[in-house]
Amino acid sequence: MTEEQVVWDELLAAGFLHGVREAHREATLALFNGLSRAAGFRERTYGVGAFELLESHLDRVFGRDDLARKVVRDDLNGSPGWRYGPYRVLLKRHEFGNVRGIRWDRDSPTKQAVARQGYVDDPQLTLPLGLEPRDTPGVVTLVLAHSATEEPLEMELFLGRPRWNADGGSAWHWVKQVDDTLGPDPRRKLVERTMPLWDDHEDVPMRLRGETKTA
């Protein structure tokens, strides 16, 4: 069985994937209902807000139900991260529709190091992380890539193992979209979702965008 399938199955069975999907939806809706272009909202505002709100909502989701006993906060060099078993997940906001076009060699030093992790099916890319003193032995660091557009409101959420692509090649060893195809939520004792504080606004129509591949 491939690493992709093993990781996906474990995180799916734990409810981790359902948790990140829930957090991303709630954070995105909170952001777009709380900001408006008429009030000076710009793309940069969204970018910073989207990252911070998703971090906050992930803490909230992972702090309740069964996930509170399974998921721990595990930042890497100041980059927000959460770990379930041997899998740590960091955040990365990408250009909408271009998740496969991410250039890790132009990203932060931490993301560059993560993209350089050894990968059994691609041993020629096994390079020193350069983060060993502060990294956690035995941990595989993945990336949760997120994005959204306002008009129409569409969301993208992907989980994958980044690949060092200074050669201009693929940005991922593997990547999968976290969407409505996850199936039933395995989390137990789910708490009824709190109604959003912005319910005095009209509901924003929402649909999930299908994966867009970059040539």
Quick: pLDDT tens for 176-206: 999 999 999 998 655 555 555 555 545 555 5
The residue that leads in pLDDT, 133 or 99, is 99
The Cα 60–Cα 149 span in angstroms is 23
| pLDDT for the residue 127 | 47
The Cα 72–Cα 182 span in angstroms is 22
* Helix, coil or strand: residue 65: coil
* Helix, coil or strand: residue 199: coil
162 neighbors 114 (Cβ within 8 angstroms): yes
What is the residue-averaged pLDDT of the chain? 83
Q: Is the dihedral of CA 22, 24, 29, 30 positive or negative?
A: positive
| pLDDT for the residue 189 | 54
DSSP classification of residue 43: H
Q: Average the pLDDT over 56-62 and give the result.
A: 95
The per-residue pLDDT for range 114-154, each reduced to its tens digit, is 999 888 776 544 445 454 444 567 899 999 999 998 778 89
130 neighbors 118 (Cβ within 8 angstroms): no
Q: What are the CB-based long-range contacts (under 8 Å, 24+) for 179-187?
A: 179/21, 179/208, 180/208, 182/12, 182/17, 182/18, 182/21, 183/12, 185/15, 185/18, 186/12, 186/13, 186/14, 186/15, 186/18, 187/15, 187/18, 187/19, 187/65, 187/66, 187/67
The residue that leads in pLDDT, 9 or 121, is 9
113 neighbors 132 (Cβ within 8 angstroms): no
State the CB neighbour count (10 A cutoff) for residue 180: 8
| pLDDT for the residue 34 | 75
